[in-house]
Amino acid sequence: RSPTVTGVQTCALPICGVIRVRVVRRFAESAVMRILNLVENATAKKTKTERFITRFAKIYTPAVIAAAALLAIVPPLVTGADWTVWVRRSFVFLVTSCPCALVISIPLSYFAGIGKASANGILFKGTTYLELLRNIETVAFDKTGTLTRGFFTVTGILPAALSEDALLEAAAYAESESTHPIARSIVNAFGNPIERGRISGIHEVAGQGILAVFDGKRLAVGNDRLLIAEGIAFEPSARPGTVVYVALDGRFGGTIVVGDRLKSDSAAAIAALKGCGVRRTALVTGDNRATAEAFASELGISEVYCELLPDRKVEVVETLIQEKAGPGAVVFVGDGINDAPVLARADIGVAMGGAGSEAAIEAADIVILKDEPSKIAEAIRIARRTDGIVRQNVIFSLAGKAVFLILGMLGLTGMWQAVFADVGIMLIAVLNAMRILR
């Protein structure tokens, strides 16, 4: 009988093999621990408002202490008034002026915003990005794995010099050592075991495809740029989907079309972003123009940038940043390792954390755990809600302090009113901040 393992069903069948497990990382380096660290360290980067409040408190505190001292000393010395009255007023002034409401409620508002976002599967790497996200001008998306499911299937086989079976077989052998989703879909469509002796010399050409030797003949499988580089005449395909051209021994063998499906909430995500006031949406992808434009048209995305390598994606995002009409941020949303440079370059990088690569998650500023594009609009709403409450607390705290300070200087309030002006206003501001969680 097989041994009992927690979380694994056992059976009475005899053990007929050995499973070897190799641990490649420590638990401290696991995805779970990295996500926990993101949550714990999310408040390390302070927003402009938080930095302003910190600087304000450093100046405000000694200033009001000096003002209270002058209030206690100057009137009795100048007018001969009763020292007891003015010392009491100075104490009331000093208690009233305590900046606790600002210093506590403002960071707490941002903490509550990050907590609310985390509860909804959105991780912010710092309160800075919560503040930036309130004002978005442009959102650019990668396609595969971001707006689409990332599960490819062969949707068309268009033979030329090769038959359908021979065309699919040649492509499957070329893609047999690749882990790319498109490659796996072709191998799965072939469905037969790969005889390693028939394929050799596999060489991947970055951004183009694969070159290999198949049954002693030179095999090229990839996009149009690969066949053009090899000097092979071919018939371009305008069918929507990812087009894979196959050439064997210098002759064009045919075309395989691989398709992907949109995520269920992708269209709703684009509509929600436009509802949030996002001025521009863009699709930034390595796919061919026909595929990119078909997806963009279905989703309602206004701009398309296609057939891009990772470095060109960075250039496109830099162009979008330069073309900003105002102070709004440019957001890039991606999931793959090739998206990491763009995520780092954008004003705000958003990574799909469920199926996204480790490099993308590391480079991004915001991580969406459930791979739902619609969470971006939700994050914007939380950011704007947080910003609104922060502004309310700043105005309420400063205005309340000003009123009670003036009344205290005039002798119209006592110590009980001063305590309310300090602790009471602080508690009201804190309770207001907690509304973000509801």
Active site members: 142
- 393/426 Cα distance (integer angstroms): 9
* Burial class, 247, CB count within 10 angstroms (exposed 0-12 / middle 13-18 / buried 19+): buried
Q: To 10 degrees, the CA torsion angle through 139, 144, 150, 154?
A: 140
Contact 368, 380 (CB under 8 A): no
For 59, residues 6+ apart whose C-beta sits below 8 A from its C-beta are: none
Give CA–CA dist 212/195, Å, rounded. 14
Report how far apart the first and last C-alpha atoms of the chain are (Å, whole number). 52
- DSSP character string of 83-102: HHHHHHHHHHHHHHT-THHH
Q: H or E stretch including 356?
A: none
Question: Which residue, chain included where needed, has tokens 């409401």?
Answer: 101
> Which residues, in sequence order, are CB contacts of 175 under 8 Å at separation 6+?
182, 183, 184, 186, 187, 210, 221
The neighbouring-strand residues paired with 243 are 257
- Element containing residue 17 per DSSP (H, E): none
What sign for the dihedral angle of Cα 221, 252, 237, 260?
negative
Contact (Cβ atoms closer than 8 angstroms) between residue 285 and residue 142: yes
Token pair for residue 128?
Answer: 């800075």
Structure-derived torsion over alpha carbons of residues 111, 113, 114, 117, reported in degrees to the nearest 10: 160
Contact residues for 341 (Cβ-Cβ < 8 A; gap 6+): 310, 311, 313, 314, 363
Give CA–CA dist 236/222, Å, rounded: 12
Q: Which of 369, 143, 359 is CA-nearest to residue 270?
A: 143
